[in-house]
């Protein structure tokens, strides 16, 4: 029981607190029911399914307990390991670029003029739009004969553009580009916000002491921005591992399976092949990896809350 705080309030009788307790439970009930019913119970069900052999096209009920077979199969399946490779490729290329460009942008538009304010508002736009629409839109931009990227931009500098979505290498680059385009604004916003919290007197004092702009960045701003960078890194890594919409609408995993990532692979296995057991096992393995990152985010969030 943790009621010391409440007891200190002389006019708040015990009975009242106990009454409040009823209300606390009542207020929590509907939301908890939804979280447990919509998320946690199905998750446990999927854990159970991950040990079952069940292809819905063959049978309308589970076809028997298979232990760790589904997990073992996935790890030995070369097409699954290829999707893992591509997923990691996507994360390792896009996230650092997003952080670099986003930080650069934050420095570029820092300031108070009306033009800068408007620019900051517009810079956010890619992030608020449905990734599914971004994928379809860029399909059009990448169109090898009529799309403006090949037709106007690259043509202008005299380069014959590649067949973006028809070539397995360029299709990967195409996804990297739209991921950077869509999510750099996220980094930009977080770093912009963090920049405003840097105490100006420290900066000025260092400037008076003759520190160069780079030294200011390296020895004052960077350490103060470190927590923001860490959070951005975690957020973006996690979300990039989970990417589905833009890949699905841009390349549909193709050409062949060259741009198939883990989420898409599981999605197809569950809803096209209806291999429920394997899809569940794959998603639980994926969950284990994601959990590590989620736990880190949680720790960082709690720590930043305690610091306040």
Q: Which of residues 103-122 bind other proteins (CB under 8 A)?
A: 105, 108-109, 115-116, 119, 121-122
Contacts of other proteins in 260-299 (CB under 8 A): 263, 266-267, 270-271, 276, 279-280, 283-284, 286-287, 290-291, 293-294, 297-298
Q: Which of 189, 220, 225, 247 binds other proteins (CB under 8 A)?
A: 189
Residue 141 interacts with other proteins (CB under 8 A): yes or no: yes
Residue 161 interacts with other proteins (CB under 8 A): yes or no: no
Residue 74 interacts with other proteins (CB under 8 A): yes or no: no
Q: Cβ closer to other proteins: 134 or 220?
A: 134
Residue 17 interacts with other proteins (CB under 8 A): yes or no: yes
Q: Which range of residues in 25-33, 72-80, 90-98, 207-215 is near other proteins by CB under 8 A?
A: 25-33
Shortest CB 268 distance to other proteins, Å: 11
Q: Cβ closer to other proteins: 79 or 291?
A: 291
Shortest CB 76 distance to other proteins, Å: 21
Site string for other proteins, 26-55 (x = CB under 8 A): xxx-xxx-xx--xxxxxx-xx--x------
Residues with Cβ within 8 Å of residue 197, at least 6 apart in sequence? 224
């Amino acid at each position: 029981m943790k009621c010391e705080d409440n007891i200190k309030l002389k006019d708040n009788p015990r009975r009242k607190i106990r009454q409040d307790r009823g209300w606390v439970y009542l207020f929590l009930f509907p939301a908890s029911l939804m979280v447990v019913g919509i998320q946690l119970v199905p998750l446990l069900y999927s854990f159970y399914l991950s040990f079952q052999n069940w292809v819905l096209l063959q049978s309308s009920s589970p076809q028997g307990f298979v232990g760790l077979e589904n997990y073992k199969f996935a790890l030995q399946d070369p097409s699954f390991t290829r999707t893992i490779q591509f997923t990691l490729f996507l994360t390792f290329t896009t996230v650092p670029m997003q952080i670099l460009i986003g930080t650069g942008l934050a420095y570029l538009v820092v300031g108070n003029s009306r033009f800068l304010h408007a620019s900051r508002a517009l810079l956010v736009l890619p992030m608020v739009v449905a990734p599914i629409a971004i994928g379809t839109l860029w399909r059009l931009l990448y169109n090898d004969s009529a799309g403006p990227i090949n037709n106007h931009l690259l043509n202008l500098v005299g380069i014959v553009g590649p067949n973006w979505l028809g070539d397995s290498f360029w299709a990967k680059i195409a996804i990297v580009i739209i991921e950077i385009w869509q999510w750099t604004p996220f980094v930009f916003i977080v770093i912009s916000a963090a920049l405003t919290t840097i105490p100006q007197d420290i900066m000025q004092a260092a400037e008076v002491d003759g520190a160069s702009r780079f030294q200011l960045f390296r020895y004052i701003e960077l350490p103060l921005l470190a927590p923001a960078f860490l959070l951005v890194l975690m957020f973006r890594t996690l979300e990039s591992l989970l990417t589905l919409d833009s890949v699905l609408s841009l390349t549909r995993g193709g050409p062949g399976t060259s741009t198939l990532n883990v989420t898409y692979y599981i999605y197809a296995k569950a809803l096209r092949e209806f291999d429920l057991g394997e899809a569940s096992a794959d998603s639980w393995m994926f969950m284990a990896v994601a959990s590590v990152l989620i736990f880190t985010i949680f720790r960082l969030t709690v720590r930043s809350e305690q610091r306040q």
